[in-house]
Structure formats: C-alpha cells, structure tokens
Amino acid sequence: MIVNDPEVHAELAALYPLYETALVENDVEILTKMFWASEFAMRFGATENLYGIEEIEAFRKARPAVGLMRKVVRLDIVTFGKDYGSVTLEFERETPAKLVRGRQSQVWVRLPEGWRIVAAHVSLLP
C-alpha cells in the first residue's frame, strides 16, 4: 500500500476546498452530496451525534446559516492506497465574545459514485 500517492493525494487536496466553501456558505446540497448516502455515515459535532445521511442532512438544513466563516490554520491530508484517506484540520472562528478554536477530522473513501466522507468529527477546544 502506498501512503500519499501523489495522484490520490491531489484528488483529495482538490476536493477539500469545495467542502470548506460549501460549509461556510451553508450549501446543504453540496455538503450532503459529499457524505456517503448511507445509514452508516456518521458525523459527530460539537453538540450533536448524527447517524446516517438523513440525520446529517436534517442537521444541515436546520442549522443557522450565520457565523460560519472560519480560518483553517492547519490542514493535513493522508491517503492510504487508492481509495482511502483522512483529512484533519484545526480552525479558528472569530465570535463577538472570543476566538473559538476547533478541530475537524474526516474519513474519505472512494466509492463507485466517487470520493465520499464516511465519518466526520468536529470538536471545539477549551
């Protein structure tokens, strides 16, 4: 197995900015499409545990679309073979009260329909 095959790494490196843009613009359609359309997809957030694409999509639709801008301060992509990779990052978000720092991790798998996030986790730092 090749770790960080240049071609595979470039594929995820090109996909992640699309996710980040959709996130800060609250583009629910794109965000939902980037997740595996399965009952087994998972997203654990700062205040929620979501199991399955239906719960993930419902969360996105119900979430307020304000205050989503953030600055990615570290981004790491590691690929394993041709069909599996992880994207991890640290981010900062300015709020009226304080600077909020957090982290995010995603597991990406190449499926017949293309690269999809099968599991994600977002948490805030104290």
What the chain holds in terms of domains, given with CATH numbers, is 6-124 (3.10.450.50)
Asked if 90 and 72 touch (Cβ cutoff 8 Å), the reply is yes
Q: What is the per-residue pLDDT across 4-33, written as a single tens digit (0 to 9) for each?
A: 999 999 999 999 999 999 999 999 999 999
Q: What is the per-residue pLDDT across 58-74, written as a single tens digit (0 to 9) for each?
A: 999 999 888 889 999 99
Q: What is the pLDDT of residue 21?
A: 97
Alpha-carbon span 24 to 3, nearest angstrom: 30
Alpha-carbon span 22 to 2, nearest angstrom: 30
pTM comes to 0.94
